[in-house]
Structure 1
Amino acid sequence: MVHHAGKDRDRCHDEGNSLFELEIGEIYETITGILDPLGIPHFSPLGVHCIRKSSTKGYDFTVKVHGGSTFHELVEDGGCITVHFPGYNNLEFFMLAFKKTCEIPGKVEYRIDAGDHESRHAYPVISSLVNYAKCKIHDMKVVTVDDIISRASNGHSQAIIITLDVLSLHVGNPSLIPVKRMHGIFLEGLIATSRMAILSEDHDSREKFLKESMEYLAKLQKLSPNGKLTKIYRQLLENM
């Protein structure tokens, strides 16, 4: 099943009773694949921001990659990129971030879709992740970053913002909900706020969890200032 990206709506999804949809402005946790110069696939867990195209009412993706990373080096050489959207029953694939230090549960089987394998005009696809987008690099912009990762990465203080043209969206299982970065933050925030409510008589503990709750709200507002979960959580704190 193939769905193209140029549809005139903010939510791009499979027709019918589908749980799979991508929303403009949201950040999704993905497994992104690219071939190296030898035609060997490299898969990385990356947060992908779904944005509106400037020329149409469709959507594209942006992703920030830290300087010095393998993915950074590979995208500078061009090539095609596959963006996989694991569901909540595929979370073990995010262990690919630690593939050099621990064993990945199960075998990561893949195939190479379309194009010339040797010239890297092809898409590495993880066989068991059936919801994915085929993309090409549209633009790359170097930005200065100052965070714990950049300071620890051999002195690198730059990252690259990559804009990806979404060529096609393949939905093999419309019942899988793509993983949003917001979801985990929202749930952790609810836990902190519930503890604040339980410990309402303990001033010090309440202040501790209030501070923690406000930090989660700040994270939600940074990711999606007007998002549904941000509004719900903000209202919750206002009513506490």
Structure 2
Amino acid sequence: MQISFLLFPQVTQLDMTGPAQVLSRMPGAKLELVAKTLDPVPTDAGFALLPTATFASAAQPDILCVPGGFGVTRAMEDDATLSWLRDVAEGAQWITSVCTGALVLGAAGLLRGYRATTHWASHEFLAAFGAIPVKERVVFDRNRATGGGVTAGIDFGLALVAAIEGADYARFVQLSLEYDPAPPLDSGSPDKAGAATLERYRAMVAKHAADRPARYRAAAEKMKAAAGPSPRP
């Protein structure tokens, strides 16, 4: 099972490393971290990840996964990145994302007519890319699988393992990772976080990514112009 994760500058590493840890436990799994070059890729956590393959050298994946992060805006605007995604998606068994990686898939035209989810703060933009927004932690639609924000990548990984290897094997992987969440605080969604915490998050986004909505919409318009009318689901 060939699994390829896209890397790009300012990726959220847990979007990738969470599901990578889970998916790597499947029989015969082989993971590649794919980027434009083999140069270290800075994450939004302050450290870098090392790609193992480039767009030119990467193997055809059975599972394609796109993580999210503050760097998705540039990834959505990068023609080489979108071209590689479209090319390998044609031969992939599963086309997947975690967090705002869904918007990169959307910019490549790969979510048109598919049910999908993403991080709660970007959920409203899914429809602009022709996706059908669903507010769930993990969403499957045919061979598309999308996970919500960051930590949902572990749930996404287990759900994908269950779809491929069966629920019993997924339970074995969950046990091996001791994935038994018991968060010390209860503010992991906008409904639970409280007004002050929610406003603090929105202020942070406004400070560091104020142009994000406009760039999302521009990427959606570019995709639509290139791809034509959206297909029916």
Q: Which is greater in Rg?
A: 1
**Higher RCO (CA-CA < 8 Å; seq separation 6+):** 1
TM-score (norm 1): 0.22
Say which structure is richer in strand: 1
TM-score (norm 2): 0.22
Say which structure is richer in helix: 2
